[in-house]
Amino acid sequence: MSRYTPTEIKLNRDNRMLTVSFPNGSSYDLSCEYLRVFSPSAEVQGHSADEATLQIGKEHVNITKIEPVGNYAVLLHFDDGHNTGYYTWETLYELGVNQAQNWAKYLADLKAAGINRLPH
């Protein structure tokens, strides 16, 4: 088992949170919005850093289905129709570890674009 292979992935649809726990004892509560706006898909990330598309209006998105992909990833199906991009175990771990800085950058990017995020 890789150090990135989750020991548990648990979705709470009511509060739109995915909790991912890892063998090293770390556990991360990742909002569906966060996972959606940081989707590893080419649609979101582009094929290079300068091609990434700022995701807006995802404040109330939820996950409808978690589909295993081999023994290395999951495919998350969101209720806005987005269902591309494999969330590898390493990607989920990195999203957890870097959540605070990723989220701060996302909020700064929204502000720079003149977009107000809706309250939850």
Question: Which pair of tokens denotes residue 76?
Answer: 């998350």
Tokens 């570890």 identify what position?
97
Domains of the chain: 8-110 (3.30.2020.30)
3-state secondary structure of 86: strand
Residues whose CB falls within 8 Å of the CB of residue 61, separated by 6 or more in sequence, listed in order: 16, 32, 33, 36, 78, 79, 80, 82
**3-class secondary structure, 29:** strand
- What's the confidence (pLDDT) of residue 54? 94
* The pLDDT of residue 42: 86
- Per-residue pLDDT, 3: 79
Cβ-contact 38, 32 below 8 angstroms = no
The pLDDT of residue 102 is: 97
Give CA–CA dist 112/90, Å, rounded. 30
Query: CA of 20: how far to CAs of 31, 46, 56, in Å?
Result: 11, 25, 24
Measured distance CA(94)–CA(26) in Å, rounded: 12
Amino acid residing at 28: Y
> What pLDDT is recorded for position 1?
58
Residue numbers in the chain where pLDDT is lower than 70? 1, 119-120
Q: What is the pLDDT of residue 47?
A: 82
pTM of the model: 0.93
